[in-house]
Structure 1
Amino acid sequence: MVEDFRLRSVAAAAYGPAALFGLSEGAVLPVVALSAIDRGANTPTAALIAALLGVGSLAANIPAGMLATRFGERRSMLLATAVMVAGVLTCLVDLGRGTASLLLYGVGILLIGAASAVYSLARQSYLTEIVPAHMRARALSTLGGSMRVGVFLGPFAGAVAMQFAGLPGAYYVSLAAIVAAGALVFRMPDLEVTAVDRADASAVTTRGMLRQRWRVYATLGVGILLLSAIRQTRQTVVPLWAAHLGLSPTTSSIIYGVAGAIDALTFYPAGKVMDRHGRRWVAVPATLVLGVSFVVMPFTGGAVSLAVAAMVMGFGNGIGSGIVMTLGADVSPRAGRPTHIGIWNELADIGSGVGPLILSAVTALAGLGAGIVASGLVGFAAAGALWRWIPRTRPDG
């Protein structure tokens, strides 16, 4: 009962804003490339503008840690909300088909990516501080699951709005969701920080954190990088292989959606297992299942078999919900925790950028099937790294 009470007590403060922020992002993600093309971009330019989401996140991770360390997690989330609103409003400004309109739209997407990084770090640090260590995995898995539910529902809400308002409808949904998230964050209590804790945190620098904890980043951090690589690639391989099989876009979307539903529904049990039996019991199976799903996918020959492989992929990713945040919290120091999490998230984002590059490079050299299998091997490498370097001892906070 104590555990249930504790989780319920932070639901509105942590999980409500996370779901709404995910809804805001999810509404925009499917229409980024389409909006760029509507402003006159060709396909490569549209892809480049879509990549600015990741660029914004990469650029903001380290400053986000410094920001949360200096001003606190709640204020950082409010700032991220304001930046997200500014980014969405900038995307809504349509100057017609031309370079100026594309540049302005690109700035909006960059702001959305940066806001996502700041918000993600601040909410992770906030929840790590207020939840006891023995419930950390459940709390952070639920946080990741809440975000995924929002991202899953966002495209549907955006699609409904676009029936009435065209492409801008998706941005209206995003704007409404992020304003609602900001209202919930505004009502959150600030973390209690003593003068000693504040003085210790102010003395922490990114360079000092790297010097102090480089072994963690060079070992377990590599496992997180590899895990993030295969996770990011999974979003690409299903539609690519569906197109390779000649399936219709509608069929491909249904398969992707079913896999996403399984992904979004499997987060809480995994967190419970991690808290009771240890992080390896989830981290290693999750990466192994992801790797197997990649390796078998090139052997699928139709919609049904591809759907099964995609569902296995969704299950593997879903049971690993929150693992990056949980491990980052486990190995974080109390003083300067946001700075550490910023570095941790930077490693994860680098992996997210590397994964699709591996798929693209191997596909160019040996074909799509070989590229997917090579990406699966990244999952097996991640499993080995996590098995080797996840700490054996239980976190003490």
Structure 2
Amino acid sequence: MSGSARVDPELSEPFPLRRLTWTVFVPMAVYSTGYGAAAPMYVLRALDLGVSAAAAGIIVALTGLGMVLADLPAGSIVARIGERGAVAAGSLVGVVGVVAAACAPNIGMFAVGMVLIGVSGAVWGLARQSYLVAVVPRARRGRALSLMAGASRFGTFCGPFLGAGPVHAVGPNGALWLQLGATVVSAAAMMSIATPDGERADASERSMSVVIAENRRVLGTLGAAALVTGAARAARVTLLPLWAAHVGVGAATTSLIFGVAGAVDVVMSYPAGVWIDRYGRRATGVPAMVLFAVGYGLLPLTSTAVTVGAAAVVLGVANGLSNGLIMTVGADVAPVGKRAEFLGAWRLAHDLGYLFGPVAVGVVGAVALGGAAVVVAVVSVAGAEAMRRWFPGVPAGGDVVSRKL
């Protein structure tokens, strides 16, 4: 057709995502199942070692610190040894961390295990994201990354149910041994992935500090939106149970509320990916952050299990709609030839929000718990505005563009 725009072959070439089922999506679900089983038991394991409840919470939070500390090095590791090598290295660190936590004779050794588990998660996460970005055409990137995020959420959702048997048999360590097995199995499954063509370069040409300096404008704008998203996601895990307890909702009912919200989150995963690819990153990110703001804004107005549950479902929809969003935007703007290093810095922005979101809730919540919810709602609105202003969109031609920074 004369005068028509040329279509990028990458965008029109079909790519069946099912080919990634056994090498990416299933291993991700298995890995997350182990983590989901063990995560609720970390605190109990710390209490078994004789620390207070407050100290146990701080020590378990060291997994988030491990992720933050490892995000930048993980980018260099993937760049130098490839995705498959990084999965192997990250899994080995994870195995050491789980064994240290399960066999720890004192709280110091347990704390080391928590940090190593966080380091493993950072390396594993970056390797799988980098691999998907390399092999999936841009036009289906949102679906692929959302499916991977959904597989992770599904595993985390199922983990506590599958861990109940081992925990009943041998105590909290039963879930940690399940995590150990899941880490080994998922790593073995991902060992079949091949190094993407043209993705390895001379390590001497790659400098993390240079990559960050060259992309500081992107990291300071789009990265700020990623940080806010991480904070909004993590805050709900802390704020919802605290508010439920504040209004007198029992622990069992709170657990049920989390289960329903988690199911909504998982169900939203693939539709979120389709929305990202079809309507754009801005058109997905802005509504997700607005829903976070609505959910947190409604929370101080709730006083019963039903109303708390309604706010939790709104937050579950928001979390599900944002599945894969941050990874997709990071993949869109990652520089050619230095993708892994950039994604390490990009993940750091999100993980900093994920680490400090609950801290902010704790600090503000110590004065007024409802005030903490309002603060997170306001921050979510700011995140929506940042996405509206800076996030990439996908116009009719399918090319990813971003507004001028």
Scaled by the length of structure 1, the TM-score of the pair is 0.94
Alpha-carbon shift at residue 191 of structure 1 (Å):
2.2
Counterpart CA distance in 2 for 1:51 and 1:41 is 14
Counterpart CA distance in 2 for 1:357 and 1:176 is 31
Alpha-carbon shift at residue 275 of structure 1 (Å):
0.7
Residue equivalent to 2:128: 123
What secondary structure is seen at the aligned counterpart in 1 of 2:16? helix
Is the counterpart of residue 170 in structure 1 residue 171 in structure 2?
no
- Among 198, 201, 210, the alignment partner of 1:198 is 201
Which deviations, in whole Å up to 9, do the C-alpha atoms of 1:159-179 show, x marking residues without a partner?
Answer: 222111211110121112111
Counterpart CA distance in 2 for 1:334 and 1:158 is 42
- The answer as to whether partners of 1:3 and 1:135 remain within 8 angstroms in 2 is no
Residue equivalent to 2:53: 43
What secondary structure is seen at the aligned counterpart in 2 of 1:395? coil
Residue equivalent to 1:62: 72
Residue equivalent to 1:369: 370
Is the counterpart of residue 321 in structure 1 residue 320 in structure 2?
no
Alpha-carbon shift at residue 252 of structure 1 (Å):
0.8
- Among 108, 121, 139, the alignment partner of 1:134 is 139
Counterpart CA distance in 2 for 1:167 and 1:390 is 43
Using a 3 Å threshold, how does the CA distance of structure 1 residues 308 and 148 change in structure 2: closer, same or farther? same
Counterpart CA distance in 2 for 1:144 and 1:267 is 7
Residue equivalent to 1:221: 223
Alpha-carbon shift at residue 13 of structure 1 (Å):
1.1
**Identity across the alignment (%):** 38
What secondary structure is seen at the aligned counterpart in 1 of 2:61? helix
Alpha-carbon shift at residue 389 of structure 1 (Å):
0.4
Which deviations, in whole Å up to 9, do the C-alpha atoms of 1:187-217 show, x marking residues without a partner?
Answer: 22232237xx513x64121111111111101
Counterpart CA distance in 2 for 1:252 and 1:364 is 21
- The answer as to whether partners of 1:69 and 1:202 remain within 8 angstroms in 2 is no
What residue identity is the alignment partner of 1:374? V
- The answer as to whether partners of 1:158 and 1:173 remain within 8 angstroms in 2 is yes
- The answer as to whether partners of 1:70 and 1:202 remain within 8 angstroms in 2 is no
Is the counterpart of residue 85 in structure 1 residue 88 in structure 2?
no
Alpha-carbon shift at residue 58 of structure 1 (Å):
0.8
- Among 108, 112, 117, the alignment partner of 1:107 is 112
What secondary structure is seen at the aligned counterpart in 2 of 1:301? coil
- The answer as to whether partners of 1:294 and 1:376 remain within 8 angstroms in 2 is yes
* Residues 267-278 of structure 1: pairs in structure 2 closer than 5 A: 267-278=269-280
What residue identity is the alignment partner of 2:40? P
Superposition RMSD in Å: 1.6
Using a 3 Å threshold, how does the CA distance of structure 1 residues 298 and 33 change in structure 2: closer, same or farther? same
Counterpart CA distance in 2 for 1:68 and 1:331 is 18
Alpha-carbon shift at residue 6 of structure 1 (Å):
2.1
Residue equivalent to 1:379: 380
Moved more, 134-143 or 41-50: 41-50
Counterpart CA distance in 1 for 2:167 and 2:34 is 14
What residue identity is the alignment partner of 1:55? L
Residue equivalent to 1:160: 165
What residue identity is the alignment partner of 1:316? A
- The answer as to whether partners of 2:94 and 2:120 remain within 8 angstroms in 1 is yes
- The answer as to whether partners of 2:393 and 2:400 remain within 8 angstroms in 1 is no
Counterpart CA distance in 2 for 1:276 and 1:161 is 43
Counterpart CA distance in 2 for 1:301 and 1:392 is 39
Residue equivalent to 1:143: 148
Which deviations, in whole Å up to 9, do the C-alpha atoms of 1:39-59 show, x marking residues without a partner?
Answer: 101122211211110111011
- The answer as to whether partners of 1:80 and 1:116 remain within 8 angstroms in 2 is yes
What residue identity is the alignment partner of 1:33? V
Using a 3 Å threshold, how does the CA distance of structure 1 residues 254 and 3 change in structure 2: closer, same or farther? farther
Counterpart CA distance in 2 for 1:42 and 1:4 is 55
Residue equivalent to 1:20: 30
Counterpart CA distance in 1 for 2:381 and 2:320 is 17
- Among 260, 263, 288, the alignment partner of 1:261 is 263
What secondary structure is seen at the aligned counterpart in 2 of 1:198? coil
Alpha-carbon shift at residue 360 of structure 1 (Å):
2.2
What residue identity is the alignment partner of 1:109? M
What residue identity is the alignment partner of 1:151? T
- The answer as to whether partners of 1:239 and 1:252 remain within 8 angstroms in 2 is yes
Counterpart CA distance in 2 for 1:4 and 1:164 is 48
Counterpart CA distance in 1 for 2:275 and 2:392 is 16
Counterpart CA distance in 1 for 2:400 and 2:24 is 21
What residue identity is the alignment partner of 1:376? A
Counterpart CA distance in 1 for 2:374 and 2:210 is 39
Counterpart CA distance in 1 for 2:169 and 2:142 is 41
- The answer as to whether partners of 2:238 and 2:361 remain within 8 angstroms in 1 is no
Counterpart CA distance in 2 for 1:349 and 1:105 is 22
* Residues 23-34 of structure 1: pairs in structure 2 closer than 5 A: 23-34=33-44
Residue equivalent to 2:389: 388
What residue identity is the alignment partner of 2:358? P
Scaled by the length of structure 2, the TM-score of the pair is 0.92
